[in-house]
Structure 1
Amino acid sequence: MKIYRDSKSIERDLKILNLERQIAWEEMKNIKEEYKESLRPLNWIQSGLKLMGKYGGFMLLKKMMK
């Protein structure tokens, strides 16, 4: 437990805690937006197309090697 000797140190710590709270809130809002963005159907389709393209390229390369 911290013991305060004057009101300036209390005010300083309160300002620091308030800023830390605001930073944490903004980080949570950012995480929420990233999560919402990752769940959009367009992102799923793009990921699926990329995966299919890589798989198709691999299969083509495999057939060429035979």
Structure 2
Amino acid sequence: MREYSSFEEINTELRTLDLKRKIALEELRSLQYDVKESLQPSAWVTTALKATRKYGILLLVRKIFR
């Protein structure tokens, strides 16, 4: 446990902790937004189309070289 020698040190520490708490809350809000965006159906469709395109190109290359 930290010992303080003045009220100024206590107030400074409290301000620092308050700012750290606010930063952590903003980071959580940002992560919440990112998760919400990644779970949207449009993101799934885009991912599925990319995977299908890669698989289709692979099949096409296989057919060409057979």
Q: Is TM (by shorter chain) over 0.5? A: yes
- Unaligned runs of at least 5 residues, structure 2: none
| Secondary structure, counterpart of 1:3 in structure 2 | coil
| Secondary structure, counterpart of 1:30 in structure 2 | helix
Fraction of identical pairs, as percent: 36
Report how many residues are paired.
66
TM-score by length of 2: 0.97
- Unaligned runs of at least 5 residues, structure 1: none
Residue in structure 1 matched with residue 35 of structure 2 by the alignment: 35
TM-score by length of 1: 0.97
Deviation at 1:6, TM superposition (A): 0.2
CA distance in 2, matches of 1:60, 1:48: 18
